[in-house]
A and B are shown apart, each in its own frame.
Chain A
């Protein structure tokens, strides 16, 4: 490294330290969002330049003379040598889901600092490392999936646990996704109309793509985007029209039923008609909005209103109950470390990499970019006044439902807000009420709308921006819902096919209908629990989703550590074992608390006991069902933890056998083949 470069990197390090110092140490006065942006960008730059390079050189031994599967197995379908930046964009578009947007918004109840530090440290030392190593190991194994690698490198238990963990995560994720949409759209004719219109728009796009302009996806997506913007404007008209407004004002239960029907239909109808065009439209809007948000934050440099810490680090938070440790680290998964990413990193991406060294930018760099999206979500949430933030996100069971009651409760927490502030906030965005909208989406939408409206349109356009943001989130989340239902259906068909062959036929309509119904019933069950929960549902479901997602990351890091040890590089196994140890501590502590904590707002069994003894009030007719649900949720968490404990034990035994020389280590890496002299450059 030249002297100039050394000085440059020293400058970046100093800049990073200064920015982190400001966000960590400044107390009692609002700070500018630019400090978070600076801290984040400098941290990612240092992590990428030094840590990822170290991992590439010492742990993964990436070698550009070795042909990648994209070169050896090129078939024009899955295996295609692709430019590094193109794969980066493709991978980023695949991993960036609603998780990094909503997790930080929910975790902001602890203040901006805990979540921000976790996003940065978790990403640089955990999430980026996980994505990078799994991508590289999959690439060295002809693009095998995480489940296949777990089975080959650890044992059969590993493969089975990965499969069950993936299926469970998808089911829980889908119920959480559906609940977020329900909470964002209930009693909101504007939002409901706009989102309802995305279905005929997607159908129109599907028909246009199929019959008029086959393959012209970008053109069709742009057309769909224009139609969606018109739907947002139409939603404003609907919300002011007495009859239409009534028609589109739906309760939480009505929206839940509509979403369940939609999920089933989307999984069962031909993919070109609904699912594919929605996926493209959602990706189009997602990429555009993320760019717009980044530009808005950089241009306007908003001030954070939320303090560094709130009183809720003690576990009494209104949005979800539980102490800073472990709940902050479970709540923010996708922005810091997400097990789900390991499925993408061992899915389509490794089959596109042209040179081994590209995995560094795609895996490590892609996750750093995703983490930056989480930082932007944190900024958007924290630019709201804490009073407004808690008024929107707190459930009725904690703050009440009337503006005066909500204002009094939240003001008593030292976050002043008045009933007229609450009413004005809702009317400024064209809503009757923004209260009790748990899930993070409306709070994030309001934060985004405030940032955007400062740049364009001011107060006059804030309602349009708010509904644009709601449309963006709901479209994005519903796409996860329909695609996820379909993926879970495929997985279920695959598994059930081993029991009874006809069920495994993916093209058989009875099998499609049966397995789709099973999947929808699975997430529909959790959704119905969520909407009936007086604590807003997120208190219950989001931590379970976070635990499941982090448990999958534990599986991925077990696989990675095993491969590193088997490769004779045990001295570098700390690279994956440090985040693995942290995740084991977080997920096991979180699961224990969620199951056994004596506080009924946290512990599921304590909640069930409270219902049974009458210390927690509920309708007599609902009691058996509520108690059963609590116990079932506790069993789901327990089952996931036991399975991950099994894979952990199996991994440790494998490490012991290899390190003690009792077993000859064999990895399942594909044999070395010399790469062609001329590959895809850059």
Chain B
């Protein structure tokens, strides 16, 4: 049961990483800003300025 719980938790973390939810949480912690529409827009702008995110 514990293994299953661990697996589900790992899967959820992986999905949150792929879908940038973890990165947004880190952004809020790093910039010490509360979650808001403006903070999210700034985060997305910063996140998608990375040169190459997806392959062909």
Genuine A/B complex: yes
A85 contacts the other chain (CB 8 A): yes
Nearest CB of chain A from residue B49's CB, rounded to whole Å: 7
Q: Which residues of B contact A341 (CB under 8 A)?
A: 55
Nearest CB of chain B from residue A102's CB, rounded to whole Å: 10
Nearest CB of chain B from residue A121's CB, rounded to whole Å: 21
State the CA gap A156–B47 with chains docked (Å): 29
Do A85 and B10 touch across chains, with their CB atoms under 8 A apart? yes
For the side of the interface on B, what is the size category? 35 or more
Q: Which residues of B contact A80 (CB under 8 A)?
A: 26
For the side of the interface on A, what is the size category? 35 or more
Q: Which residues of A contact B15 (CB under 8 A)?
A: 89, 218
Do B30 and A93 touch across chains, with their CB atoms under 8 A apart? no
Which chain A residue shows the least CB distance to B16? A218
Known: A85-B14, A490-B49. A271 touches B44 (CB 8 A): yes
Nearest CB of chain A from residue B15's CB, rounded to whole Å: 6
Nearest CB of chain B from residue A94's CB, rounded to whole Å: 6
State the CA gap A344–B54 with chains docked (Å): 7
A97 contacts the other chain (CB 8 A): yes
A347 contacts the other chain (CB 8 A): yes
Which chain B residue shows the least CB distance to A98? B56
Contact of B19 among A88, A97, A283 (CB under 8 A): A283
Q: Which residues of B contact A538 (CB under 8 A)?
A: none
State the CA gap A313–B55 with chains docked (Å): 29
Do A83 and B54 touch across chains, with their CB atoms under 8 A apart? no
Known: A90-B14, A215-B21, A272-B40. A77 touches B52 (CB 8 A): no
Nearest CB of chain B from residue A82's CB, rounded to whole Å: 7
Interface of B is mostly: helix
Do B30 and A75 touch across chains, with their CB atoms under 8 A apart? yes
Do B20 and A97 touch across chains, with their CB atoms under 8 A apart? no
Do B51 and A340 touch across chains, with their CB atoms under 8 A apart? no
Nearest CB of chain A from residue B43's CB, rounded to whole Å: 8
Do A491 and B17 touch across chains, with their CB atoms under 8 A apart? no
Do A89 and B55 touch across chains, with their CB atoms under 8 A apart? no
State the CA gap A72–B36 with chains docked (Å): 31
A435 contacts the other chain (CB 8 A): no
Nearest CB of chain B from residue A177's CB, rounded to whole Å: 8
Do A340 and B56 touch across chains, with their CB atoms under 8 A apart? yes
Q: Which of B17-56 contact A (CB under 8 A)?
A: 17-21, 24-27, 29-30, 35-37, 39-41, 43-56
Do A210 and B10 touch across chains, with their CB atoms under 8 A apart? no
Write 22 A-B pairs (CB below 8 A) sorted by A numbering.
A75-B30, A77-B26, A77-B46, A85-B10, A86-B13, A89-B15, A94-B53, A145-B51, A210-B40, A214-B35, A214-B39, A215-B40, A217-B19, A217-B24, A218-B19, A275-B48, A334-B56, A338-B56, A343-B52, A487-B52, A491-B51, A549-B56
15 additional A-B residue pairs with CB within 8 Å, beyond A218-B19, A279-B48: A76-B27, A77-B30, A83-B10, A89-B17, A90-B18, A98-B56, A216-B21, A217-B19, A218-B16, A272-B44, A276-B48, A279-B53, A334-B55, A483-B54, A487-B51
Residues of B near any A CB (own CB < 8 A): 10, 13-21, 24-27, 29-30, 35-37, 39-41, 43-56
